[in-house]
Structure 1
Amino acid sequence: MKAPSSLLSVGGTEEVRASWRVDNSASDVAAPLSSGESAGQQHKMAARRLLWAATCLLGACSGDQRLVQYEEDIAPVPARPQHVEGWPRDLPHLGEVSGVSVNPAGQPVIFHRGPRVWDASSFNSTNHFQHVSEGPIPVDTVLVLDPEHGSVRASWGRSLFYMPHGITISPRGDMWLTDVALHQVFKWEPGGVAPSMVFGQRLQPGSGLGHLCQPTAVAVASSGVVFIADGYCNSRVLEFSPQGVLLRVVPQPPEFLSLHVPHSLALVESLDLLCIADRENMRVVCPRAGLEGRSRREPPAVTVQEPDLGRVFAVATCGSYVYAVNGPTSPMIPVRGFTVDPLSESIVDHWQPTSTALRNPHALAVSPNGSALYVTEIMPNRVLKFALRRG
């Protein structure tokens, strides 16, 4: 076999190994090859991983246990989503199911629009919501589901939201909700009777740093740092401290990164990446998150953009892999799920439900323990469960 680069040599069929010398000190790292992939694809993935490891060894990535963490995170083969037939068993009539997340107890939580529908009459040319006079949605819009049967365990959100979009639940149980009609993002703490933080101005779209315009999604780091995708109008991502202080706008000079409807966000903290479903650019793009500080020479964003990817609606992470779903793009591009490896900048798997086809996926989420994945759709308004299994 031919080595992927001059730095790499193949040892049998089990691993690719790189050796180099820095300041008269030799370094050596190996990346494992897994069964079920072509040799060329494996070598591309291994080469990317080795280059990442070399970057860590040279001190360009953060953390005291950089390589140890790296090896622990990339070693497992990604779990394949397998559709759980017959789930949910008993679920009431749903409106457009725009968002899903999973709480620390492993319960999927969905955000739906009840009787309200987003159509051509919903917003005017300046992005103002046109049905304010109808008031907020008069039904519970947040539903907590039983992970085994899919029945509703709890619900709330009646008369609070105008056009639900995204939901994210942090590791400590804080719930972040986006409303594209209100142009706001809300943080609800466990047991709270009112939001503890609000971003954006009620019913007022804008492009200034104090405004949002149809915000789509939120990602929350374990440190409490918050990323808000702002969204349909501004096509930017805002980074805030845990106290709500604006830290950064993505993209910003000298970043060569142009977003077109950042529709969903997912953090790969072990690799310090913020992965974005860049919907209308039909790609998954992952700039450096900067959770452990930023350097003057930031690497270019990781980009996954392949002919069959189409318009990417949602992303979620499990370990160092990213799961994604596309939506209707063209008759030549199937609507389905993807498993993405950011380090090789490639799609490593495709997946679908077994007894039905995905038609209009809008959101997805992975359970905290990595055992389940949930996908929600709009028209048909439904939620699907997939078991994540390896081997």
Structure 2
Amino acid sequence: MRLTFAKLATAALVLAGSGALATPSASAQPDAPDRASTSAAAAAAPTAAQLKAAVAKCTKQISTGKFGHDAGGSRTVPVCATGNSVHWRADMDIVCDGQPTTKCNKNTDPWFQPQTAWTQSNGKPLIADKLPFIVVPGISSTWSYKSANITGGTVAAVVHQDKVAYAVVGDVGPTSAIGEGSYRLAEQLGINPNPKTGGVSGAVVDYILFPGVKAQPIESNSSAVSRGTVAAADLVAGRKGCGTTKLDFATYPALAANATGDEVKAAQCVLRANGYSTGDGDPTGKLDEPTSAAVKKFQEAKGLAATGTVDTKTWTALLSAGSTPQVQDGSTGDAVTRVQRALNAAVGAKLGIDGMFGPNTTAAVKKYQSARGLASDGVVGANTWKALQSGK
């Protein structure tokens, strides 16, 4: 069993610098469940054998060195990139860190820590016996998860023997070791979840992460499953998916039928991320019939005119979709990024999209609020989120 002695320090650094926690007093409402059909997703889900075959070789090693299965152990595990995924094969040590429960607490787990590097949308730590999540190594000269576009909520397919479970990145561990999963993830994979005596040894578990694919909110396993299934199918089919697609623009132009370009590809990827299929294959960068149909479905769901054209209102609703924590001056993270994108679409704010809520973002929020008849306080709370996500 790995001694995760580095977790406390690493988690503190992550929470201080990564924007995992939007604001100390964040209040949030989970987003609506993904609209992808559960039965359709199940039918399209790759098998364990298919996923193992897709990552059987280290197509490209992206870590400068290797990791051990345990802190201080022999370093034999490289971090690799194949297709739209980042992956490694390792053991699984059981993580019980997070909110204390009857299964996960200081009595059941001698290494228990009552926090996780990333938190739920309400600001509380994750719950290890409720949510399938994995642990990434702390940033070091060997490898940085940030440089691979991986963060809290990034979706992963985890494979053991003939089982596949979809999880999220939820915590950070030692810089020298790799191969940890939550109590609930172990249960789903048929691995003994006991933090004292459980886990599995040897390079027998494939951890397959999909950069750019995030569960919204992080605690929604249904979101991880629906979005992970699409990404896993892309991997097996040899498609690149949306992991490297540019989403950030100073302005978001109206896109009518047959429009082409990077903005169309961005719209396709955001639609896909929210459970609206734009057709088989990689995003094409063309607003074709399947994409127009997806736009219409999204517009209908938001109460917008179902034209199939990605206009200002549709862009605003699309780009702001997701969890709704209160964010304000000093907040950082994904929610801020979505606000900045949506403001660029809604009022032409021309913000630099960096996920950092500073004076320029505050001014743009106030401008938006004033134009929509909202209290112009520069704080993105429930009413402002509601306006953004309805395309106002």
TM band (smaller chain):
under 0.3
Identify the structure with bigger relative contact order (alpha carbons < 8 Å, sequence gap 6+).
2
Instruction: Output the TM-score relative to the length of structure 2.
Output: 0.28
Instruction: Output the TM-score relative to the length of structure 1.
Output: 0.28
| More helix per residue | 2
| More strand per residue | 1
